[in-house]
Chains A and B, each alone.
Chain A
Amino acid sequence: MTAQKSTSPDSYDKAFSLINPIDIPWVDALRRSAFKKFQELGLPTQRRGNEPWKYTDIRKLAKHEFQPVLEHKTVSDQVVRDHSIIAGPSHLAVFIDGTFSPSHSSVNDLPKGANFSSLASAFHSQDILVEDKISRYSGYKAEAFTALNTAFIEDGAIITLTAGTVVKAPIHLLFITTSHKHEVAIHPRIFVHLEESSSASIIESHTGIQGNVYLSNAVAELLIDSNARLNYYKLQRHPTNAFHITNTEAIVNRDGYFSCVNIDLGGDIVRNNLNTRMAGEGASTKLNGLYLTTDKQHVDNQVIIEHIKGNTRARELYKGILDGQSRSVFHGSIIVREGASGVDAYQVDKNLLLSNQAEADTKPAFWVYTDDVKCGHGAACGQIDDDAVFYLRSRGLDEITARQLLIHGFIAEVIDSIENPDLRDHVSDLVHSKLEQWLLV
C-alpha cells in the first residue's frame, strides 16, 4: 500500500507536464496562467476559515494523483447507446474521456444559424470568438477547480446560435469516462452563446464506466443574450467512486430566460457551483435540482443568483433523497445589487431522509442591497410520513409500493420541471430503478 500523500497541488505538477501541448500561443498562455493560479490557490481542503467548503471535505479527493488521459480509448456504439439518454430526436455530441468523438456524434444536422464545434477543432481553426470568449465568464482567478480545468483545457463543446435561431431537438453533450490503469482527470469545457431571441435545449450529461477512480471537472460558460431562451440540463451518473466537480456560469441578459435542472444520481463527492447573473432587466431564471444519494455519497450544490439588474425573477427548487450515511449540502445565495428594484426571488430546498444516518445541510442566504424586492425561501427535511404510508396501505397498496409512491410524489415537482418529454421519461425511469433497488434491500 502506498503512503497517503498530503494535500498539495504539487501532485498536479507532474500531470501538467504530461498534458498534450497545444501549439497556439494564446491557449498555451492561458493554460500556464491558469496553472499558476491553481498553484497559488491550491485545492480548497482547509477545514478552518473556508466558508464555501465548510460542509464539503475534499481531502479524500486531494489524496489522489490524477493524471491526464494519455491513452485514448474507443468505445462501442452499444456503450454510447447505453449511456445516452434521449430516445427521441436529439443532436448528439459524444466525448470519450473528454475528447470529442465525431464517429459517435450527430451534430451535423443542426438547423441553419446553429453551430456546434469541438473546442479542440475551434482552437485549431483559430476561431477568434473562442479566444475572445473562453474563460471570460468563468472566474479561474478565484476558483481552484475552474483554474485546474482551464490549465488542462483541451477539448469540449462550443455551441452558438445566431439571432433568432431556434433549435427544437435538444443538443446532448455526452461525456463518458472510461476506466484507466492510472487514476485520470478529465476537464470538459463548454461554451454556449445564444444570440438575441434564439432558443435551445442543451443536456450536459456525465457518466462513466465502473473501474478505477477518476475526477470529472467540468466548466460551462453560458451566455444568453436578450430575449433568448436556454433550457439547460445537467445529468450526472458517474460510478460511485468518481469525483465530480462542476462550475457553471450563466449570464442572462435583458428579457432572457435560463432554466437549469441539475440531477445527480452518482459520484462519490459531487460539488456543483452554479452561478447565474441576471444582467439585464426582465431576465428570469428557474433553477431546479434533484439528488439521490446513498452509502457515503456526498452532493453539494452551491447556487448563487446575482440580480444585477431590476425586475429580474428567480425561482429555485432543489430536492434530495438521502439514504445510507450519505450527505447533502445546499447553499443558495441570492444577491440583489444596489438599484436592482423589483426583483422577485424564491429558493427552496427539501430533503427526504430514508435513513437515520443520512444528513442534509441547507443554508439559504440573501444579500439584498436595495429596497423594493420580493425574496423568500423555504426548507424542509424529514422522513417519509408514516400516516401517509398507512393511508395508502389501507387502500391495498403494499408497503414498498406505498413508500415508492410517496417518494416519487416528493420529487414529482422537479421531474415535471424537465420540459423535454424524452428526458423527463428517462430521468423518471432512472430514478425509479434506483429507488427500487434501495427500497428492496
Chain B
Amino acid sequence: MALLEIENLHAGIGEIEILKGVSLSVQKGEVHAIMGPNGSGKSTLAHVLAGHTAYTIFEGSINFDGSTLLEMLPEFRARAGLFLSFQHPVEISGVRFDQFLRASYNSIRKSQNEPELDPIQFNKVLKDKLGQFEIDPAFIQRNVNEGFSGGEKKRMEIFQMALLEPKLAILDETDSGLDVDALREVANGINNFRNPDHAIVLVTHYQRILNYLTPDFVHVLMDGRIVKSGNADLARQIEEHGYDDFLEISRTNEK
C-alpha cells in the first residue's frame, strides 16, 4: 500500500477551485519532485496535505499510512508522521525555538505513548541533532524564525524535519533563496533523512537541488492538475524549455 494516496483532489479557497483533480501515489522510500509555474497550486497542495483550515475540499480523498487524512486535524497529521516545510515559515515573537521544539517533539512522543522529555533531556537530543547541521546553537535560543534570513529559516525547517523524523516530508520550495553552502547543507539534510522508510515530496522550481538528490519521480503541476509525470529527465527538460511544452496538455485538460 502506498504511504500517501491522493485521489482526484479538488480543493481551493472559499468557492474558488485551485486544485482541479490531483492524483498522486507515493510509496515509502520514494522522492517525488513537484514542479510547476507560479500560482499553479503547489503550496495549496502542500497546505491541504498538512490540514490548513483555510482551504475548502470539494472532492477527492487522501489516504496517509492507512488513515483518512482529510478527517484529521493538522496536529494529528503531524503526530501521524506528516511534516511540512513551509515556503514561508512564520515568525513567532516571544516563543523560543527550544521551547517550541520541545513542545512539538513531546507532542509527537506522547502520541506514540513514549515518555515526554524534560528540558535537560531534550537539550541533549537537540545538541546531538545540531551537531549534524552547521546551525549556530545560538539560533535555538532565539524566537521562532524571528529576524531569521530567508535562507536561515529554510535551514531551520530542515533541522526540524531531522529532529521530528516524520514518515513523509513535504518540502515546499525549501531550496529557494539559498546560497550554495546552505543549499548543500539542506540537500545533505534531506539526503540523510532519505531512507527506505521515509518518503519525500519536494516542491521546487529549480533543477539545482536535484543535482544533489535524484528524485524517483517528477510531476508537473499546472493550473491545479498534474499534467505530466516522469523521471529526473523531466526536471532537466523543464530547466531548458520551461513549461511551454505542457501548456497544450493543460489546455486539453481544461475541456
Contact = CB atoms under 8 A, between A and B. Distances in A.
Contact of B75 (A385, A398, A405, A406): A398
A49 interface: no
B107 A390 contact: no
Contacts of B63: none
Nearest to A412: B94
Contact of B73 (A388, A393, A401): A393
Interface string B181-212: 00000000000000000000000000000000
Interface string A396-423: 1111010001101111110000000000
A409 B93 contact: yes
B165 to A, nearest CB: 12
B40 to A, nearest CB: 21
Interface in B102-144: 103-105, 107-108, 111, 143
Contacts of A408: 94-95
Contact of A385 (B51, B90, B94): B90
B36 interface: no
B224 interface: no
B95 A393 contact: no
A390 B74 contact: yes
A5 interface: no
B90 A394 contact: no
Contacts of B168: none
Contacts of B104: 392, 395-397
Interface stretch (B22-30, B78-86, B237-245, B246-254): B78-86
Interface in B7-55: 50-54
A406 B73 contact: no
B187 to A, nearest CB: 22
B173 to A, nearest CB: 16
Interface string A370-382: 0000000000000
Contacts of B90: 385, 387-388, 391
B99 to A, nearest CB: 8
B174 interface: no
B75 A396 contact: yes
A77 interface: no
B84 A397 contact: no
B94 A392 contact: no
A82 interface: no
A386 interface: yes
Contacts of B100: 392, 395, 405
B145 to A, nearest CB: 9
B213 interface: no
> Which of A386, A396, A412 counts the most chain B CB atoms within 10 A?
A396
Contacts of A406: 92, 95
Contacts of B89: 391
A387 B43 CA distance: 14
Given A391-B86, A391-B92, A396-B104, A386 B78 contact: no
Given A392-B100, A399-B75, A401-B103, A411 B51 contact: no
B62 interface: no
Contact of B52 (A388, A390, A411): A390
A174 B71 CA distance: 53
Contacts of A386: 53-54
Contacts of B78: 393-396
Nearest to B106: A396
A395 B90 CA distance: 12
B51 A394 contact: yes
B232 interface: no
Contact of A390 (B53, B83, B103, B160): B53
Nearest to A408: B94
Nearest to A388: B90
Given A392-B100, A399-B75, A409 B92 contact: yes
B107 A394 contact: no
A409 B107 contact: no
A397 B107 contact: yes
> Which of A386, A388, A408 counts the most chain B CB atoms within 10 A?
A388
Contacts of B143: 409
30 contacts: A385-B90, A386-B53, A388-B90, A390-B53, A392-B92, A392-B100, A392-B103, A393-B51, A393-B74, A393-B75, A394-B83, A394-B86, A395-B107, A395-B164, A396-B79, A396-B103, A396-B111, A397-B75, A397-B107, A398-B107, A405-B92, A409-B93, A409-B94, A409-B95, A410-B93, A410-B94, A412-B93, A412-B94, A412-B95, A413-B94
Closest 9 CB pairs of A and B: A409-B94, A412-B94, A396-B107, A409-B95, A395-B104, A396-B78, A393-B74, A391-B90, A393-B75
Interface of B: 50-54, 73-75, 77-79, 83-84, 86, 89-90, 92-95, 99-100, 103-105, 107-108, 111, 143, 160, 164
Given A395-B100, A396-B78, A405-B95, 13 more contacts: A388-B92, A390-B74, A391-B92, A392-B103, A394-B50, A394-B74, A394-B86, A395-B164, A396-B111, A397-B104, A399-B75, A405-B100, A406-B95
